[in-house]
Structure 1
Amino acid sequence: MDTTPMFRAVLLHANDTSRDTVVLLENHAPAPPTRLRLPGEFAGAAVFDVYELADDDEWPEQAVYWHVEIIPRTTADLT
């Protein structure tokens, strides 16, 4: 059984609420990360979706993040 502590990251998108989602992430710190960089896809290309912490009132069970940018991923980023 995996006993790694987890938290729910609520990912919100101001311009496209159909992309709003909740993901489970490992919790290794006393406070939520202020920025998340998660792999994604945009127009068929690999990207990182970047999220900024918006609300940590329910930490350590949950934190809310707003999408702030998309960063293209290249093969150099993966090595």
Structure 2
Amino acid sequence: MMITRAHIKEWVFDAVKALGEGSPASVAKHIWDHHETELRSAGDLFYTWQYESRWAAQNLQKEGRLLKTGRIWKFIK
């Protein structure tokens, strides 16, 4: 399976949902813990996935699915 930005976006959403809220670092740790194998085989995205996770959080906030307050990302719906 080819990993894309869309996968990262859903992984961010799933991580924040599972955590309830968390810092970008705790969300990244959750993603790594659950998707390390996919990330390691993601080609160039392996080197940019944490940047992509911040992009994803911004888009999830615009969609009303996540709230970013300071350095904490919170699950909304």
TM-score (norm 2): 0.27
Would you tell me which structure has more helix in proportion to its own residues? 2
Question: Which gives a bigger RCO, structure 1 or 2 (Cα 8 Å, sep 6+)?
Answer: 2
- Give me the TM-score of the superposition, normalised by structure 1: 0.27
Look at both structures and tell me which one has the larger radius of gyration over its CA atoms: 1
